[in-house]
Structure 1
């Protein structure tokens, strides 16, 4: 019985050590917040959030969710290998009343931080902007 417990403990210890040495996928964004400033109503604007996978495993984005229908997210669909770059492109078509806005774009992935929120903000204004 003692031998069985010792063998089990040894196998468990080796398994934990091997797992601890592999670094899962992880995002490193150039920036996680973008301020559009003042943007005209009904004129789409686009911003691309760029990231690097600083983990050892390939990073896979499974879903990008926005907080409203006026925002659309596109993203790198293929796995991003360690050290390689990917993107999340956000297109915002402002509509409604001229008001400040602050919106979240939620990413779901296999990264160590499985859920990541990117922020876009600014102010909707009437007519042309400078």
Structure 2
């Protein structure tokens, strides 16, 4: 009987020690998340609706952003969601206070509504930014 009581006490103390550690880990991860959420890139628009565009005429959509941080930002990759969207972007480092552009050119080959995305990866953010373009080909 005494062994059972000692075992129960040891189990209870063991469980209490785990619960005391958990809030400390949560606090550390919340602090890290808050640090990463502070972006140094401010986009003029993340979604652009081009309205109606004629079939067979490629449409260039320009996304602009400003580097509001204290260090230069480099665009490391830009990828369209399909082969119908070509991309171009500022290749040189964007200094603090300066602006840059990402251009997506949509090939308006098929009639109807469309929604496409452009994924932009930079040195300033841990997660890529998803930009959206939409409209209707007539």
Q: Which has the higher helix share?
A: 2
What CA distance in whole angstroms lies between the structure 1 residues aligned with 2:52 and 2:125?
35
5+ residue gaps, structure 2, are 1-37
**Alignment match, 2:79:** 65
**Structure 1, residues 26-79: CA drift from partner, whole Å, max 9, x if none?**
211111111111111110111211110011111100110001111111101000
Matches within 5 A, 1:4-15: none
2:51 alignment counterpart = 37
Greater C-alpha Rg = 2
Which consecutive unaligned segments of at least 5 residues does structure 1 have? 1-23, 126-130
TM-score norm. by structure 2 comes to 0.68
CA 63–108 in structure 1, closer or farther in 2 if over 3 Å, else same: same
Q: Tell me how far apart the structure 2 counterparts of residues 75 and 114 of structure 1 sit (CA, whole Å).
A: 18
Q: How many residues align?
A: 101
In the alignment, what sits opposite 1:92? 106
TM-align CA RMSD: 1.5
* 1:25 Cα offset (Å): 6.8
Cα separation, 2, equivalents of 1:93 and 1:36: 13
Indicate the residue corresponding to 2:4 in structure 1.
none
Separation in structure 2 between the aligned mates of residue 26 and residue 94 of structure 1, nearest angstrom: 33
Partners of 1:74 and 1:40 in 2: CA distance: 22
* SS of the residue 1:101 aligns to: strand
More strand by share: 1
Q: Which consecutive aligned stretches of 4+ in structure 1 deviate over 6 angstroms post-superposition?
A: none
Check conservation: 2:72, 2:94, Cα contact below 8 A: yes
